[in-house]
Amino acid sequence: MPRLLAPLMLSLATCVLVACSPASSPRPAAGAQGAAASSAAQTLTVQGTDALKFEPSTLTVKAGQPITLTFANAGQTLHDWSLAQGAGQPVKISAAGGQSASGTFTIDRPGTYTFICSQPGHEAAGMKGTLTAQ
């Protein structure tokens, strides 16, 4: 039995080493590399405050590329970052006071869209901004 176990262990170790070693892949052509870079997520950070303001209140992104937005609530009350138009479905990223939250979405078409804080009275008090997709 021990004589059969050694070749089995050697085969198992070889399989593990092959599976865990980095694969070598060819470098993408210049055009393919550009395409990969253009599909990478755009990252944005927006802060909400108890002064009922977004900082920054104006955002610019590229249409058709994913956007990862981090909403940081610098206030003490609940705020959110809400976008009703432009994405395939409405976007709402909520964070309690002193907390942050993130979400990923895509604006499919160029245009200018309004984002708001949907908490009662916050939009009316001026907690809104614009997102321009180019």
Q: CATH number of the domain at 121, please.
A: 2.60.40.420
Q: Edge-to-edge strand order for the sheet containing 111-116? A: 58-61, 128-133, 111-116, 79-83, 91-95
- 106: in domain: yes
**Beta bridge mates, 104:** 68
With 80 as the cut, is the pLDDT of residue 42 above it? yes
Query: What is the reported pLDDT for 9?
Result: 43
Q: Is residue 56 part of a domain?
A: yes
Residue 19 lies in a domain: no
> CB within 8 A of 60, min separation 6: which ones?
131, 132, 133, 134
Q: Is the pTM of this model over 0.85?
A: no
pLDDT of residue 2: 53
In a domain, 9, yes or no: no
Residue 22 maps to a domain: no
Residue type (1 letter), 77? T
Model pLDDT for residues 73-92, shown as the tens digit of each residue: 999 999 999 999 999 999 99
Q: Which residue has the tokens 């058709």?
A: 64
Residue 97 within any structural domain of the chain: yes
Alpha helices in the chain (DSSP H): 2-20, 30-38
Residue 29 has pLDDT above 70, yes or no: no
Please count the structural domains in the chain: 1
- Name the percent of the chain lying above pLDDT 90: 69
Look at residue 78 and tell me if it is in a domain: yes
User: What is the span of the domain harbouring residue 78?
Assistant: 37-133
Higher pLDDT, 7 or 74: 74
From CA 51, how far away is CA 60, in angstroms rounded? 23
CA angle 115, 120, 121 (to 5 degrees): 80
